[in-house]
Amino acid sequence: MNTKEVPSAPIGIYDSGVGGLTVLRAVRVLLPGEDLIYLADQAKVPYGSRPLVEVRQLVEGAARFLMEQGAKLIVIACNTASAAGLRHWRELFPDYPLVGMEPAVKPAAEQTLSGKVGVLATPSTFQGEMYASVVERFAQDVQLFEATCPGLVRQIERGYLTTPKTRRILEEAILPMMEQGVDTLVMGCTHFPFVIPLIKQISGQGMRVIDPAPAVARQVERVLEQHELLNLQQRPGTIRYFTSGDPQRLANLLPKLTGDEAAVKGLTWQGDQLQLRPDA
Ligand code: DGL
């Protein structure tokens, strides 16, 4: 492991809303000394029903904001944003440390016993070429069942993790898959790990549920190591939160979703740029 001390630049973690907090939790567990910035583009959530070209512009604006805040590495903690903007971003900034996401079909294909895997993700994620490539590379020997879970991202954005409506959306997705013999479910949207307890209630404990967050956190560690950017300080890292939506609403939800109380700063889109609100 690299032991070089570097000034404490933060890791930027970005999602359309609260979904990326599932990744933030995993990064914090693995790299507790790192300072983090979390950016939720809640003025535009959900991304999953927007055209990919539109999401690509949003990804670029969000990533530029995080760069301006001094982020030493950016995590696109959103499958939809990664599907839309990862390649574009790598072309723009080939040397900038970046970690994106793709639906975790590979581990699911390795773990399924029935050969039947369910993938829960947004419509845009399923439409992107990244998903097509994942299927081609890793799902040759398994049968995939896909569900977009309409309305689920909005429910989770409101903090409705166990309400009857949330349950109904999940049942509509999962019960038909179970009838087909699906034994492994991929969380192909970073919002969805928040409802894993409910998924397990519906499916029974026998269902394997794949949350990619720990693997993403390990990838963050690897990329930081490669760039000699790991922060090995002993003090606990800090977290700063930003949203383009309602800061107070996000602040109210944080204890439920992360166990943390924290202030949230408001951002506003000016054209294709994210800027701090004057009152923030
Ligand atoms: N969290 C995002 C993802 O992983 C999607 C949520 C949205 O539709 O905005 O795909």
Distance in Å, CA 40 to ligand 1 centroid = 11
User: What is the arithmetic mean of pLDDT over 135-140?
Assistant: 96
Mean pLDDT, the chain, whole residue set: 95
Ligand 1 centroid from CA 18, angstroms? 9
Question: What is the band of 235 on the pLDDT scale with cuts at 50, 70, 90?
Answer: confident
What are the pLDDT digits (tens) for 54-108? 999 999 999 999 999 999 999 999 999 999 999 999 999 999 999 999 999 999 9
pLDDT bucket at 4, cuts 50 / 70 / 90: very low
Q: Kindly give the number of the ligand 1 atom that is closest to the alpha carbon of 77.
A: 4
Q: Is the separation of the CB atoms in 164 and 262 below 8 Å? A: no
pLDDT in tens, 184-220: 999 999 999 999 999 999 999 899 999 999 999 999 9
Report pLDDT for 7.
Answer: 52
User: Token match 């030493």: residue?
Assistant: 72
User: What residues flank ligand 1, with Cβ below 6 Å?
Assistant: 15-17, 19, 45-48, 78-80, 122, 125, 153, 189-191
Q: Which residues contact 144 (CB under 8 A, 6 or more apart)?
A: 105, 117, 118, 119, 135
Distance 4 CA to ligand 1 centre (A): 35
Q: How much is the average pLDDT of 22-32?
A: 97
pLDDT band at 2 (very low <50, low <70, confident <90, very high): very low
Provide the pLDDT for residue 40: 98
One CATH from 3.40.50.1860, 3.40.30.10, 1.10.3720.10, 3.20.20.140 for 105-211: 3.40.50.1860
Choosing from 21, 56, 122 the residue with most ligand 1 atoms within 8 A of its CB, the one to mutate for a pocket test is 122
- Percent of the chain surpassing pLDDT 90: 93
Q: Which atom of ligand 1 is nearest to the CA of 80?
A: 10
* Distance of alpha carbon 236 from alpha carbon 92, whole angstroms: 33
User: Which ligand 1 atom sits nearest the alpha carbon of residue 20?
Assistant: 1
- Catalytic residue from among 119, 189, 217, 239: 189
Class of domain 3-101+214-276: alpha beta
| Domain boundary assignment for the chain | 3-101+214-276, 105-211
Find the helix or strand (DSSP H, E) in which 143 lies.
Answer: strand 143-147
Helix H or strand E segment including 276: strand 273-276
User: Is 189 designated active site?
Assistant: yes
Confidence of residue 279 (pLDDT cuts 50, 70, 90): confident
Asked if domains 3-101+214-276 and 105-211 share a fold, the reply is yes
Q: 238 CB contacts (<8 Å, ≥6 apart)?
A: 10, 35, 36
- The predicted model gives 120-147 an average pLDDT of 96
pLDDT at 1 over 90: no
β-bridge mates for residue 73, sequence order:
11
CA of 45 to the centre of ligand 1 (A): 8
232: number of Cβ within 10 Å:
13
Q: Which of 134, 191, 257 to probe ligand 1 with, by most ligand atoms within 8 A of CB? A: 191
Q: Exactly one of 66, 78, 135, 257 is catalytic; name it.
A: 78
How many angstroms does the Cα of residue 1 sit away from the middle of ligand 1? 33
